Structure 1
Amino acid sequence: MKSTRGQHDILAFMDDIKCHANTKQSMKIITKELEKCSAEIGLSLNVNKCGIYSRNGVEPQEDVNDAPFLPEIREGYTYLGLTQLDRDTTDNLENITKKIKKKSETIFGSDLTTRQKIQLFNSSIIPAAIYVLGNLFPEEKRATTLKNCRDLDTMFRKMLVDYDMKGKTTSNARVYLSPLMGGLGMKSVEIETEIHYIRKGIYLQSHPDMTNVYEAYKSLQGAGWRNPLSDCQFVLEKYGCNTEQYPMGSYKKSSDNIIKIIRKQHHDQLINKWSENMNYGRIVADEVNKITFPAFTTPYMDSWRLSLLHSAAEEQLHGLGCIPGRTRVCRRGCGNTETAYHVTSSCPTNMYISRHDNVVHWLLKTILTTTNAPEDIIMGLQFGKATLMADYEQQGRGISIRAGHKILTEKKMYHNKPDIMIKLSNPDRIILIEVAIAHIQNYRLQEKIKRNRYAVNSTIKIDNKNVDNIVRDVNIVGELEKIHRCPVDLGIFVVGCSGEMIVTEEQVKFAEILSKVLGLTNSEIQHLFTKCSYSVCLSTSQILLKHLNLKM
């Protein structure tokens, strides 16, 4: 426009337009041009939402007698949802903090499941917070902005405690870890804001339409002014990423690679911090690439139950010796020190049979369904029952299932009652399945005990005290091979008492038996594992509540 002599700038985003000019006359000309262009495509300016804002309230003398063509704004204005002034303002942060706190209370206090609450929080609250904190204030120090992010993270963690989604003394790291790692999977405001800085900075560097803007910001950065480029540079250096110029058109690839590095480092920091402070965290860290928590990903897990299990796993459950120096003897009278570990896995007065039998039940039901057992057999399998005697055929192959029954052999066996025995014909094959529910620190020990009992020496009692000194002798697997003259597979299935599962050699073998011999698909196996994990979580939480004489 000749009349403005090129001294103007127009920023447009969707239907929000901001114009900069040196004089009111220039702004008036720009406004008329916008009205004209808008009319050509059937749009018009909403004067009630438009206005003129002059820095420091100074009006040019040449325009003093002009009739106002737009309302004059004295106390700031709103652009893209943010209050704008010529100086920094804290109004945006204060307003968004009040709003997201209220919304978060509604989410956490709702009847949604834990997974649904976290998903809703991550998809609504986090973007709202980042929109304000990610649109920087040039005069505010970056450290101040990131501290504001951490303050919001602290506020949200306190809310989790208030709404029984987190134990008061449980690890903060677990809040941000993925549900696959036993965490809640909540996003961090600080981390997501840093990622937002990366996206903005790389977009300015790599998008061809941003060349002029990039050069302007580059000049500001050289002069020491905070801007999107300096924030991006800070995050890149913090995480040790490449700080060189990114080529044009590389926005998505470059930003995705750096974001992946940031998330990986954040994940590693959480694991390291958790393992430094908690024995349970150290165990999980040692199994970091093998451990899963299938039950925690289900939409059925109650918030209070998940919090209870987290607290018990970390020995932070009040009333069960979580305070150092204030231990007590088990209130059930067994004489051992009362801890969450003791209550959930080793108290001789507790009845763990039903927890074990529930897992056997799900295995039986899945096997019967997959092998197309008659409907009356499937319907006759009562929930929680681990006994079954069924014989039927599937596509010309005979199937005989025995659960909870002893195997008779010529030589007397001490261990002769596997949880499930499946005999297949045409071709002949026998499958033995043994189930164990163990604390995560005894996971592999239980697998070893089960393997020794049925495939090494079945004639003597084998437990944790003598499992390392067992010599080979007559065993159930060998005897069945002699009697039936067919292959015998032993599948060992262990579930952690808080729903954990570790991809060990034994679990891999068990999964192969389910898929290659019994015909389960991968999705069916994962669904089975999830149901068993969730079932164990339910039983363990009930054991804890009963021990503490609590009701939920």
Structure 2
Amino acid sequence: MQTVSGSQLNRRARVGGPEDTTADQRGGEGVDDALQSRALPTNSVGSSALTTNKAVNDDRRPHKIEQTSIQSEEQSITQIQTVHDPLPNNTQHTPTERAKEIDQLTRNIVVNEDQEPIVLRFLQTLAETKDISIEQRLLLPKAKINKSFIKNLNTLNKYLPNILVTNNSLREINNILYAAAKTLVLDNNQTPYAPKMTINSKRNPPWKKRIQIRIEKLRKELGQLIEIEKGINTNRMSKIRDKLYAKYNIQSENDHNNTTEIIKQRIKALAGRIKRYEEMNTKKEQNKLFAENEHRLYRSLGCNATKDIKIPSKQNVEEFWKSILSNPQQYNKEANWIKEIATMSNEVNTIESEEITEDQVKFALRRMLNWKSPGLDKIHNYYIKCLTSVHKYLASLFTNIVSGKEPLEEWFTTGKVILVPKNENTEDPKNWRPIACLPSMYKLLTSVLANVLYSHCQENNIIAVEQRGCRRGARGCKDHLMVNKAILEDAHQNQRNLSMAWIDYQKAFDSVSHDWLIKVLDVYKCPSIIKRFLLMVMPSWRVSMIARGSQHSITTEPIHVRRGIFQGDSLSPLLFCLAVNPLSFILNRYEMKGYKLKDSFWINHLLYMDDLKIYANNKYNLKVLLDSIEIFTNDIGMSFGLNKCNILHITAGRRSSTTGEDHILLNGNEFKQLAIGERYKYLGIHESGKIEHSVIRQQISKEYFKRIKKLFNTHLNSRNIIKGINTYAIPVLLYSFGIINYKSNDLKYLDIKTRKLLAIKKAHRQKAEVERLYLPITEGGRGLINIENIYKTHILKYKQYLKQENDHLIQAIVQHDTQKDKYSTIQEAQGIERELRLPQGNIYTDNEIKEAIKKKQNKAWRDKQLHGQFPKKVLDQANIDIELSFKWLKKQQIPPSIESSIFAIQDQAIMTRQHQRDILKEPVDGKCRLCASKDETTQHIISGCDKLAGTCYVKRHNNLVQYVYWCLAKKHKIEVSDLWWKETLIQPQVKENDSTKILWEMPVHTDVTVTHNRPDLIYVDKINNKTFLIDITVPSDYNIGAKEIEKLSKYHLLKTEVSRLWNTQTTIIPIVIGATGIVAKSIKKHIDKLSTKIDLTILQKQAAIHTSTILSKVLGDNVFIHNTQDSLIHNAQHSSNTQHSLSIQQSVSTQSSTITQQLSSSIHQLSSTQVAPTNITHLSDTIQTSTIHQEHRM
């Protein structure tokens, strides 16, 4: 045990102490800045505020808070801003006294030298974290979750309460969380990094520069040789000629021409090398980026990397945003409607609570995304979620913050705003879209308060039904679009009048008055904890704008937010909804001036956050509604975005052709009438008096396929391509389901064309089974989302939602839908229920719907005569582990072409002679082109041909043995290569040390004749006196169970003799891997007996890739079955295949070890890396029948 002194603990365990920033850095001499400088602790030498603020910050003994109401906003702001005065009942310490107190506390903490290494590394990181400012912290990459990471996480989670107390400061807990996260990342062999300062900051790597220099030199020499050949005779050229002729030993004209050609080829080879290396690097980078942040990769797909992005000057950016954010805006305190709303809110019941509980913190964390970009504190939500032992201390800290006991630091209320270009005119600051990143701890606290505020609004029905922007459980935009669709269809079908207006607010979130936000909380009698918190943080809201260009970047000085909401957290949207909520009350007073659906309700407006649409039964009533909206907008200090505000009139169901009917505002401005031929994009859907379903379907389909093609232009591996389609392309379609009318043929067309694009990419083989393409990987599928099925799922879930909700907007949707003869959502859902055999009228979960769809797909797959053989004869066998058989596809990254080939082999979608004879009815001999003794089936080629047994099958087998041997040798520290595929097993050998002995291809000599006395590996564990007879085989997937039994019986006698003669406990370890990676349930048990880290997925990958290569080698280019355009093509190919089979047979019979070694090199390099090469197409397209090109590697 080692007692840590105060100074040591200051470096290792205790955290705290504000960062080195000064109040002078903030600038500004106004009263607000002066007040703020006193409210925020600094570390300026000689600052009088430091001692007082630090005293308040450090002395955290609980004290009683008087339950007095806040008299006014001004009084509250003064109380918060003068936090430098000591709080009631608090003792103000001098710096010397506080230092002694800290030293005394640190002496009580003991560090055990026998603690876990991860804890010691954490303490060291914690000390380093305390010594740097929050702004200087490095960003942490997204963690690669594995068993070791989880173990370390749990260890730290158990240790943290040892250095936490109930009165830890904000900075202390933040330091602990960041240090824990950084320690876990570093221990996981990941590296924190500094943010990129420019968008295109890539530079040519050294290897590329070296090759380019060589190319330039060769090009220069080539040009000189060409000039010499033209006969240019000068003194300078003579010297050059003599030099080149001497360098390349050119003696004649023929040598001159040969040298010229050689240099040309060298230039092409070097250029090809650059291209190959760049593709390899691109593959690695793209797959790594996809694993860490797939959305960032998606964003990069739509960017032009070569485009030069120019950024505005720092001064222009600051001036632009200061004009929006830093100018306080007042509301009209004399507005009559404010008093009316306040009167209506007299019956609101407010539940006050001064304490934030641990349960509230945990609930808020559940709703936060794990890897959302953090703010200045650089802490991902994942670590705050998983370090559960910190939650109760966070609850205590948050209680102190909202009650005013814990002063705030600048970083806590400072946002980092990333500016993203909207269009090509990037030199204008207004053409940059802000994306705010707030500190994670601030977002957590505001999320807790947002839940408190939402509960208050929900219990008292404060938020208007027409506002769907922050209504939990609602479908948001979809609800409004369905109501909008019902109104437009009703007016068109019943030939009624309808006047509409689309209203957009200019910088809506950035222009809300702070005074109005506080007032609206009073009006709706919101819990005082919300108001108190806002009064505390509003004066200290600041943002730093960051714009990154191609050559440089700018970061503005912190800009004070005196107007608008602090975007980027959970509380802001709800505050904005409350700020505009009175508008619904004002408009609902004119309900009869709206539009009434047939036999249904009056509707005059829909509001989604700041997107407002107005409905009226004529143009005059529309003017009344718009005038009321203008008065309200002016009263709360907001303004219209006139260029996005339009009106439209429909007369007798038809769009009015009258021009000049613009709406004139009270201030003289106008809302333009939507011009003929124009469409307005409302909540993402274009409309112009009616929804043009066919046009929108075409637009959505075009965007969907555009995104798929973008993915195919990348070098993502197979799993990432499938996931990319599911998460990047298909969501484009999901938004339109239920709003845009789709026929069954429309959905089938999308699925068919998707499969065609996959086939072009060779990510799917045309005649491979379609149903399993859409099944989960754990059930033998590939995990792609079927568009037709996801549409059915969506319709079923929305029908259930309509039946469960009861507000008048949903009732209006239901009543209109039930009256429709065509494209009725409810009727369509009932038909889907019958199709999937779901109980009609019942409430069923998402899993029940998915299971019903999967059951239908599995039945269709198994009912097929050819493709159904694999699931019925392999997967449905009791001894087969289906999940483990396909799990390797997730872990071992392979190109799309390889994965599709493996599935095609399982489906027997292979152009064998037996298939040509029996299926295509072609006049060919169905016997194997190599052995000519059995029918040439897929299973025969991959595991049953005698001509391949001594070459290709042996190489596939030895490849697996090599990996197992390497794992065993590594465990016992026997000297082997660092990479398993570089280890060579050429001849029988034995490796031995004090702990083990490993024999490869060594027969066992016994005094009794034993026929089978040479297993692949004999592993002797000397420490435990155990011997393992390891034999590996790669049979057909249909023969796995029989092979395992055969191996156990085959070496039973040898096991007995070894146990007797060697006096050891002997075990037979049969490792049976199917030719395409299928394994039995018992394989895990057999491998676990070796007590060695053997990755089964590597064995499966090796077997499957070798199998694919064998087929490609035997069948040549015509491996997979494609749609035949005419029979003449096949007849022409038949004659060439006959000659091809003769050459194959001769080649296989005389196959030398050189070919085998080349095949080994290619496969090892292909399977050794974690990045899959989509550039290298399936080996059937690149590997010829006589040679294996070593250049094909990962």
TM-score normalised to the size of structure 1? 0.81
Residue matched to 1:21: 616
Q: 2 CA distance for matches of 1:155 and 1:380?
A: 42
Residue 286 of structure 1 pairs with residue 876 of structure 2: yes
Q: 2 CA distance for matches of 1:411 and 1:166?
A: 54
Q: 2 CA distance for matches of 1:44 and 1:299?
A: 56
2:684 to 81, 103, 106: 81
Q: 1 CA distance for matches of 2:1013 and 2:663?
A: 102
Aligned residue type for 2:910:
L
Residue 317 of structure 1 pairs with residue 914 of structure 2: no
Q: 2 CA distance for matches of 1:434 and 1:182?
A: 27
**Conservation of the 8 A alpha-carbon contact between 1:381 and 1:388:** no
Q: Per-residue displacement from partner, 1:502-544 (whole Å, max 9, x unpaired)?
A: 32x4x24314414xxx1x4xxx55xx11111111122112212
Residue matched to 1:458: none
Residue matched to 2:592: 5
Q: 2 CA distance for matches of 1:492 and 1:135?
A: 57
Segment of structure 1 superposing worse, 383-392 or 539-548: 383-392
Residue 149 of structure 1 and its aligned partner are, at CA, apart by 1.0
Greater relative CO, 1 or 2 (CA 8 Å, sep 6+): 1
Residue matched to 2:954: 353
Residue matched to 2:730: 126
Residue 408 of structure 1 pairs with residue 1005 of structure 2: yes
Q: 2 CA distance for matches of 1:380 and 1:222?
A: 66
SS where residue 539 of structure 1 aligns? Answer: helix
Residue matched to 1:460: none
Residue 220 of structure 1 and its aligned partner are, at CA, apart by 3.1
CA RMSD of aligned residues (A): 3.2
Distance 1:431 1:15, change over 3 A: farther
Residue 491 of structure 1 and its aligned partner are, at CA, apart by 1.4
- Which is higher, the Rg of structure 1 or of structure 2? 2
Aligned residue type for 1:24:
K
SS where residue 129 of structure 1 aligns? Answer: helix
Distance 1:78 1:359, change over 3 A: same
Residue matched to 1:103: 707
How do 1:411-490 residues align onto structure 2 when only pairs under 5 Å count? 411-455=1008-1052, 475-490=1053-1068
SS where residue 743 of structure 2 aligns? Answer: helix
Q: 2 CA distance for matches of 1:96 and 1:510?
A: 52
Residue 218 of structure 1 pairs with residue 814 of structure 2: yes
Q: 2 CA distance for matches of 1:245 and 1:183?
A: 30
How do 1:155-194 residues align onto structure 2 when only pairs under 5 Å count? 155-194=753-792
Q: 1 CA distance for matches of 2:1044 and 2:1011?
A: 18
Segment of structure 1 superposing worse, 224-233 or 177-186: 224-233
Residue matched to 2:897: 304
Q: 2 CA distance for matches of 1:58 and 1:347?
A: 74
Q: 1 CA distance for matches of 2:827 and 2:691?
A: 19
SS where residue 133 of structure 1 aligns? Answer: coil
Q: 1 CA distance for matches of 2:980 and 2:837?
A: 61
Q: Per-residue displacement from partner, 1:119-156 (whole Å, max 9, x unpaired)?
A: 1111121111222234244xxxxxx5232111111111
Residue 71 of structure 1 pairs with residue 661 of structure 2: no
Residue matched to 1:464: none
1:373 to 973, 983, 1001: 973
How do 1:189-338 residues align onto structure 2 when only pairs under 5 Å count? 189-207=787-805, 210-224=806-820, 226-244=823-841, 255-274=845-864, 277-287=867-877, 290-291=881-882, 292-298=885-891, 300-323=893-916, 324=918, 325-326=921-922, 327-338=925-936
Distance 1:423 1:35, change over 3 A: farther
Residue 418 of structure 1 and its aligned partner are, at CA, apart by 0.9
SS where residue 338 of structure 1 aligns? Answer: coil
Aligned residue type for 1:280:
F
**Conservation of the 8 A alpha-carbon contact between 1:440 and 1:496:** yes
Equivalenced residue count is 501
Residue 190 of structure 1 and its aligned partner are, at CA, apart by 0.7
Aligned residue type for 1:408:
H
2:647 to 36, 43, 52: 52
Q: 2 CA distance for matches of 1:436 and 1:65?
A: 81
2:1112 to 540, 545, 548: 545
Residue 479 of structure 1 and its aligned partner are, at CA, apart by 1.0
Residue 493 of structure 1 pairs with residue 1071 of structure 2: yes
Q: 1 CA distance for matches of 2:848 and 2:647?
A: 41
Q: 1 CA distance for matches of 2:697 and 2:979?
A: 59
Distance 1:378 1:414, change over 3 A: farther
Q: 2 CA distance for matches of 1:13 and 1:219?
A: 22
**Conservation of the 8 A alpha-carbon contact between 2:836 and 2:852:** yes
**Conservation of the 8 A alpha-carbon contact between 2:623 and 2:663:** no
Q: 2 CA distance for matches of 1:379 and 1:105?
A: 36
Distance 1:214 1:380, change over 3 A: closer
Q: 2 CA distance for matches of 1:348 and 1:451?
A: 24
Gaps of 5+ in 1: 138-143, 247-253, 456-474
Residue 166 of structure 1 and its aligned partner are, at CA, apart by 1.8
SS where residue 444 of structure 1 aligns? Answer: helix
Aligned residue type for 1:453:
K
Q: Per-residue displacement from partner, 1:479-502 (whole Å, max 9, x unpaired)?
A: 122123332111111111112223
**Conservation of the 8 A alpha-carbon contact between 1:432 and 1:491:** yes
Q: 2 CA distance for matches of 1:495 and 1:201?
A: 47
Segment of structure 1 superposing worse, 214-223 or 398-407: 214-223
Residue 440 of structure 1 and its aligned partner are, at CA, apart by 0.7
Q: 2 CA distance for matches of 1:42 and 1:496?
A: 72
Residue 329 of structure 1 and its aligned partner are, at CA, apart by 2.9
Distance 1:29 1:494, change over 3 A: farther
Q: 2 CA distance for matches of 1:306 and 1:376?
A: 31
Distance 1:14 1:431, change over 3 A: farther
Q: 2 CA distance for matches of 1:119 and 1:166?
A: 15
Q: 2 CA distance for matches of 1:541 and 1:389?
A: 32
Aligned residue type for 1:356:
H
**Conservation of the 8 A alpha-carbon contact between 1:431 and 1:490:** yes
Q: 1 CA distance for matches of 2:656 and 2:764?
A: 56
Q: 1 CA distance for matches of 2:591 and 2:629?
A: 14
Residue 50 of structure 1 and its aligned partner are, at CA, apart by 2.6
Residue 153 of structure 1 pairs with residue 751 of structure 2: yes
Q: 2 CA distance for matches of 1:159 and 1:391?
A: 54
